[in-house]
């Protein structure tokens, strides 16, 4: 169970508005919404909870790192979500995706590897019956 179901998500305090083009790395705490374009990395700082929302018109060309990532727009670069990654129906991701939990809606597209952060340990294979007596 994710912490998002137990606690309120952090507030979105920053916005890259529609029509805005930002060139360079963008670092934030708590919450950020992108409806414009960012040409550079978008990274949540600190070990605290964070939420990044990339709206329908939002575009990021660079690395994306946050606890909770919601993508409705486009990301060209790797995405790393330490808690929950939500890929909405119009989401387009071109790059490697790493996540703890993944929610992918029909219509969302990923052109790259999907890799969970924790790989469940596989139980040892035990044979039900053997010919040894």
Q: What is the pLDDT of residue 102?
A: 95
Q: What is the pLDDT of residue 111?
A: 97
User: How high does pLDDT run on average in the chain?
Assistant: 88
Q: Check if the beta carbon of residue 89 is closer than 8 Å to that of residue 108.
A: yes
User: Residue 126's pLDDT is what?
Assistant: 57
Categorize the per-residue pLDDT at 46 as very low, low, confident or very high, splitting at 50, 70 and 90. Answer: confident
Q: What is the pLDDT of residue 3?
A: 47
Nearest Cα neighbor of 66 from 36, 46, 91 is: 46
Q: Residue 11 carries which DSSP code? A: P
R_g (Cα) of the chain, nearest Å? 18
Burial class (CB in 10 A: 0-12, 13-18, 19+), 93: buried
Residue of 31, 27, 28, 26 whose CA lies nearest to 4: 31
Q: Which residue is listed with tokens 């929950």?
A: 84
Q: Which residues pair with 80 in a beta bridge?
A: 65, 98
What does the pLDDT average to over 12-18? Answer: 94
Comparing 28 with 128, which gets the higher pLDDT?
Answer: 28
Over residues 72-129, the pLDDT tens digits come to 999 999 999 999 999 999 999 999 999 999 999 999 999 999 999 885 444 555 556 5
Cα–Cα distance for residue pair 97/38, rounded to 1 Å: 18
């Amino acid at each position: 169970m994710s912490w998002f179901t137990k606690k309120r998500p952090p507030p979105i305090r920053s916005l890259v508005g529609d029509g805005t083009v930002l060139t360079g790395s963008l670092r934030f705490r708590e919450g950020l919404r992108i409806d414009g374009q960012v040409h550079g990395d978008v990274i949540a700082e600190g070990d605290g909870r964070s939420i990044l929302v990339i709206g329908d018109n939002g575009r990021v060309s660079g690395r994306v790192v946050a606890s909770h990532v919601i993508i409705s727009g486009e990301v060209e670069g790797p995405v790393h979500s330490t808690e929950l990654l939500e890929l909405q129906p119009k989401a387009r991701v071109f790059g490697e995706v790493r996540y703890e939990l993944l929610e992918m809606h029909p219509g969302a597209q990923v052109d790259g590897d999907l890799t969970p952060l924790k790989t469940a340990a596989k139980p040892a294979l035990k044979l039900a019956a053997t010919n040894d007596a």
